[in-house]
Amino acid sequence: MFSAISGLKQHQVMLDVTANDIANVNTIGYKSARVTFQDSLNQLQRGAAGANTATGGTNAAQVGLGVKLGSIDNLMGTGTAQTTGSPLDVSITGEGFFQIGEGNPNGAANAPIDARTYTRSGNFSVSTQGYLTNSAGQYVVGYQLDPGTGNPITTGVAIKIPDDASNVAIDTNGGVSWVDNGTGLRTTGYRLTLANFANASGLERVGGNSWAVSANSGNKTVNTPGEGGAAPLNPGTLEMSNVDLSQTFTNMITAQRGFQANSRVISTADEMLQDLVNLKR
């Protein structure tokens, strides 16, 4: 009976994970998850015996004591790109994450912003103060370029669009450019950066389409899109959820049947106990 109870609990976890994937089927940049199980402890009925001069060996006799949660794996495959036409919408065509941070960029010129979370959701906008932000109002982190040479000046800063600029756009290499209304010339003043991790599946979900570094994700490596192994960007598009509904509904049916089968074991065990109690009559 207790083995079946453990089966009920773990299949409920599987259903919870599956339901969350279905709920986020239209969430921008969402990554689906997968549940795996492991067998639990085993009760040893008889130990194994080696062969001798008279007989062959015998195997151990063990009775399993249920199931336990093995892992909940993050499936980091790239989702389908949806065309939006917005110049501030951008998706990553391969591995990598946009860097998102909080801080006070107005405290000093080009004040660094500490990037603590990472996202695949590239639906950006320009705030009333002129900063490139995500949907939660957090700053998109990149580095500033020298207008003359195009070389980086300051790294790890919030991207600031001048007040008199128009026609802001992002290119495939992460360059953030705008038209200077004073001169009429297009200027690339900043460049987005992407963070890569040795084990991206080890990142922890923190909500709001964001991820945080964990003890098993490894340290980040910051690169320019399209350089140093980082994937280029796809402007005017957004990466949709990578949830495969056909596979997800199959997982839901499997979880349902597993839960149902374990509940039948409990019912059968209850009937057996009832018969045992009735032996006294």
Query: What is the per-residue pLDDT for 41?
Result: 79
- DSSP letter for 103, please: S
H-type alpha helices, 174-226:
none
Residue type, 245: L
Q: Give me the pLDDT at residue 18, please.
A: 96
Model pLDDT, residue 110: 64
What are 73-115's pLDDT values in tens digits? Answer: 999 999 999 999 999 999 999 999 999 998 888 755 566 788 8
Alpha-carbon span 97 to 197, nearest angstrom: 9
The pLDDT tens digits of the residues spanning 3-31 come to 889 999 999 999 999 999 999 999 999 99
> Mean pLDDT of all residues in the chain?
90
Domain boundaries, the chain: 2-45+60-76+243-280, 94-239
Q: Rounded to whole angstroms, how far apart are CA atoms 234 and 179?
A: 21
Gap between the Cα atoms of 40 and 6, Å rounded: 9
Instruction: Using DSSP, state whether 148 is helix, strand or coil.
Output: coil
What is the distance between the alpha carbons of residues 176 and 216, in angstroms, rounded to a whole number? Answer: 33
Q: Collect all residues with Cβ–Cβ distance below 8 Å to 223 and sequence separation of at least 6.
A: 96, 193, 194, 196, 229, 230
Asked if 13 contacts 6 with a C-beta cutoff of 8 angstroms, the reply is no
pLDDT in 10s for each residue of the chain, 281 residues = 888 899 999 999 999 999 999 999 999 999 999 999 999 878 888 888 888 888 888 888 888 888 999 999 999 999 999 999 999 999 999 999 999 998 888 755 566 788 889 999 999 999 988 999 999 999 999 999 887 788 888 888 999 998 889 999 999 999 999 998 878 888 899 999 999 999 999 999 999 999 999 999 999 999 999 887 789 999 999 999 999 999 999 999 999 999 999 999 999 888 888 888 888 76
